[in-house]
């Protein structure tokens, strides 16, 4: 390490939902004063039905994930990404991929889609798994209230 301070890393799970868009916003609002890097991460995997063979058009899964990430970043930052924001496309199950990413992160930020009432008290399976198993703190944010 040579005495140099490493840059803090905030990993954000992105899936295109309003909750993940808000997670990106919150991550950036935390990252700027801390001088941290935001790593916007989208995960994808082949559906289980394709487990035994290669199907035509299989590349569409990765391309769709890239498009979701690109659109999500554009919603938050416009056409020009801030210097501290990088994007990452990961092939793998979302829960496992984000938990693995937490090994080298200082914080994970995830969006959570609530439905109000009792259901609004619950968090999703990805958020729940990360809260329980991540190797760093996890911030779970709500989607903004519809006006």
The residues that bridge with 110 in the sheet, in sequence order, are 140
Distance CA 101, CA 109 (A): 12
pLDDT tens for 70-93 read: 999 999 999 999 999 999 999 999
At the topology level, CATH places domain 9-142 in Rossmann fold (3.40.50)
The residues that bridge with 39 in the sheet, in sequence order, are 11, 86
pLDDT for residue 147: 58
Distance CA 88, CA 10 (A): 12
pLDDT for residue 56: 56
Q: Where are the domains of the chain?
A: 9-142
pLDDT tens for 123-137 read: 578 888 899 999 999
The residues that bridge with 144 in the sheet, in sequence order, are none
- The answer to whether the beta carbons of residues 48 and 118 sit under 8 Å apart is no
Supply the pTM of this predicted model: 0.84
pLDDT for residue 2: 47
pLDDT for residue 138: 96
């Amino acid at each position: 390490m040579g005495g140099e301070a490493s840059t803090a890393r905030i990993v954000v799970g992105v899936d295109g939902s309003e909750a993940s868009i808000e997670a990106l916003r919150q991550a950036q609002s935390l990252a700027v004063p801390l001088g941290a890097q935001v790593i916007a991460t989208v995960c994808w995997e082949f559906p289980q039905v394709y487990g035994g063979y290669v199907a035509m058009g299989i590349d569409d899964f990765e391309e769709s994930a890239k498009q979701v990430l690109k659109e999500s970043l554009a919603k938050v930052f416009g056409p020009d990404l801030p210097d501290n924001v990088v994007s990452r496309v990961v092939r793998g199950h979302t829960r496992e991929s984000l938990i693995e990413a937490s090994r080298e992160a200082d914080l994970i930020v995830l969006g959570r889609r609530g439905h109000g009432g009792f259901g609004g008290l619950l968090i999703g399976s990805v958020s729940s798994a990360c809260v329980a198993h991540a190797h760093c703190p996890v911030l779970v944010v709500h989607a903004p209230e519809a006006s």
